[in-house]
Amino acid sequence: MNAFLNRELELFLAAVGFFTRIPVPMKAEFSEADLNHAARYFPLVGVLIGVIAALVYTAVSEILPRELAILASMATTIYATGAFHEDGLTDAIDGLGGGWEKEQVLTIMQDSRIGSFGAIGLFLVLLAKYEALVHTFPAVIPAVLIAGHALSRLASVLVITTQPYVKARGKAKPLATQLSKGELAIAAVFGLGPLVLFIPKLLVTLLPVVVVWCWFSYKLKKRLGGYTGDCLGAMQQLCELAFYLGVAAWSFT
């Protein structure tokens, strides 16, 4: 049992080390197989990032206006992840917005420079997330942050399990092997668990996420025949925003 728990802890720390800038107290480098199996804990990393965001929001809102507390929580998550997913979003928007053929799209995505499509897209997504949170019941914002970060990362895991990786090499290549049913179940528990607080309005909060996931998955399948690491980052950001919009709609009605 101890060996099993140690192995699972090692995989979780591998996920933390890969997806965030948070130092991990174990070996500095993980094998490709480790990172592949660590994908089951991607949503749990989301819970961790969401908890950090919730704590920052709660602390800052005690001394500053709620709007500044929301900005502080957003800035903290971007710093904690090294803008890992935001970078993927900008690259994916640049590629899909500026390219026509598959190879052209992939070439644009690999360019480290941010183009007009990516810059505008990132600005609009961040602004929309901020506005959605501003129009959410203040009392539920900490729970919304935790659930949003967890659920959106489950959305990325579902892309891994339903589509092929389309590049020979890349930052998401270690995650490209499909998860087993057991690993997917673990990811689902951590990704969906925080939603228990939203059961009374679960349909309203989840519907935008389902719509965005289906639309963007179709777009990736049609344009690329699969996904890249940038596409996973884009899916996380878009589904996080979709969840916030669903909660904001619940708060508004």
Minimum mean pLDDT among 108-112, 149-153, 161-165: which range?
108-112
Nearest CA to 251 out of 159, 175, 138, 110 is that of 138
Question: What is the chain's mean pLDDT, rounded?
Answer: 88
Count CA atoms closer than 13 A to 104's CA, side-chain side.
7
- Bridge partners for 165 per DSSP: 227
Classify 146 as helix, strand or coil.
helix
Question: How high is the pLDDT of residue 31?
Answer: 62
CA atoms of 224 and 203, how far apart (whole Å): 31
Question: How high is the pLDDT of residue 174?
Answer: 53
What's the chain's Rg over C-alpha atoms? 18
**Each residue of 90-111: b (16+ CB within 10 Å) or e?**
bbbbbbbebbeeeeebbebbee
Ramachandran assignment for 225, one of left (phi > 0), alpha (psi -120 to 50 degrees), beta (any other): left
Torsion sign over Cα 239, 245, 247, 250: negative
Question: How high is the pLDDT of residue 14?
Answer: 85
Token pair belonging to 237: 């950001």
Token pair belonging to 240: 């996080």
What CA–CA distances, in Å, run from 4 to 41, 192, 216? 15, 24, 36
CA atoms of 20 and 84, how far apart (whole Å): 8
CA atoms of 34 and 170, how far apart (whole Å): 16
Residue owning tokens 């600005």 = 123
Minimum mean pLDDT among 8-12, 72-76, 114-118, 176-180: which range?
176-180
pLDDT of 65 strictly over 80: yes
The pTM score is 0.92
CA atoms of 119 and 93, how far apart (whole Å): 9
Nearest CA to 240 out of 201, 213, 218, 204 is that of 213
Longest dimension (CA), the chain: 52
